[in-house]
Chains A and B, each alone.
Chain A
């Protein structure tokens, strides 16, 4: 069985500071990894995805994530956050051969001035 763990339920940070949102996964087969963002009262939007190739993936809004197979991690980073980045962030995986997307429990990013 596969699973996604987001250990931090909430991450407070000041505007213009760097941030890292942690994601670890478990799977016995190869995976595709995704980060989604959910703004209040909206559905989820894709931030970025890792399929293969370069382990550093760049997404929208200045976010990037690094796939680390040995540590089974896919942490999300941004060098300088804005107030508008306040949202909930979900890490997700999909096993090769399956359509089901398995989500982590989410991390709420709170950016304050």
Chain B
């Protein structure tokens, strides 16, 4: 089990550029979550998917953010255009099933810096 894999680990970009973060969940996990971590706001849930379908995107900050899950083994979080306030660590996590006590398995995160 390779765990949740996120890429890239670090991303530095200029304001206005498009940024795409990638996530490969653990095989067999049918829930996928995107979180953002900042010093000011802590861990915030942005969006989560069940069986590749977005279930709750109420945490997505604004229209500049979009997330997709084209298949069970891949998800992307896109920011277009990026702004300095988007600088944060973005985590992807997956969970094995519909049981509400199933723990989340986190990737190591992508540290995004927008200058």
Contact = CB atoms under 8 A, between A and B. Distances in A.
Chain B contact residues: helix, strand, loop or mixed? strand
A14 B43 CA distance: 28
B104 A44 contact: yes
A100 B48 contact: yes
A104 B100 CA distance: 18
Chain A contact residues: helix, strand, loop or mixed? loop
Interface string B85-101: 00000010101000011
What is the size category of the interface that chain A forms with chain B?
Answer: 20 to 34
Contacts, number: 50
A43 B42 contact: no
What is the size category of the interface that chain B forms with chain A?
Answer: 20 to 34
Interface string A79-101: 00000000000100010111111
B100 A98 contact: yes
Interface stretch (B63-71, B75-83, B105-113): B105-113
B42 A103 contact: yes
Interface string B51-65: 000011000000000
A55 B101 CA distance: 16
Contact of A96 (B42, B93, B100): B100
Nearest to A44: B106
B3 to A, nearest CB: 8
A103 B100 CA distance: 15
Given A51-B101, A90-B43, A105-B42, A43 B106 contact: yes
A49 B43 contact: no
22 contacts: A32-B100, A32-B101, A41-B108, A43-B91, A44-B91, A45-B106, A46-B103, A49-B103, A51-B101, A90-B43, A94-B100, A96-B100, A97-B100, A99-B31, A99-B48, A99-B100, A101-B33, A101-B45, A101-B104, A103-B42, A104-B42, A106-B42
Interface of A: 32, 34, 41-46, 49, 51, 90, 94, 96-106
